[in-house]
Amino acid sequence: MAIVVDIDVMLARKKMSVADFAYAIGISPANVAVLKNGRAKAVRFTTLDSICEVLECQPGDVLRWEPDKAQPASSRPQRGPK
């Protein structure tokens, strides 16, 4: 997936454990692991809001886009008007 989640970087900066973070934002440590490992398919805005509040950051500090290395740009689906 081209969306990268940098929660681990922010947790290290805040010196916060996954368990403490999970408790603070109201999700399970297992779901934090899903986010950290890039296996999440979606993130609720309410969860993103809690993440940013607890880590005192902006959404762009925990989410970033990288081109998908497995697929060349020319073969990616084109977006736009139909």
CB distance 18 to 32 below 8 Å? yes
pTM beyond cutoff 0.75: yes
Measured between alpha carbons, how far is 45 from 47 in angstroms, rounded to an integer?
5
Report whether 82 contacts 22 (CB < 8 A): no
Task: Retrieve residue 82's tokens.
Answer: 């139909």
| The residue count for the chain | 82
Task: Write out the chain's pLDDT in tens, 82 residues.
Answer: 689 999 999 999 999 999 999 999 999 999 999 999 989 999 999 999 999 999 999 999 999 999 987 666 556 566 667 6
Fold annotation for 3-61: 434 Repressor (Amino-terminal Domain) (1.10.260)
In the chain, where the domains are located: 3-61
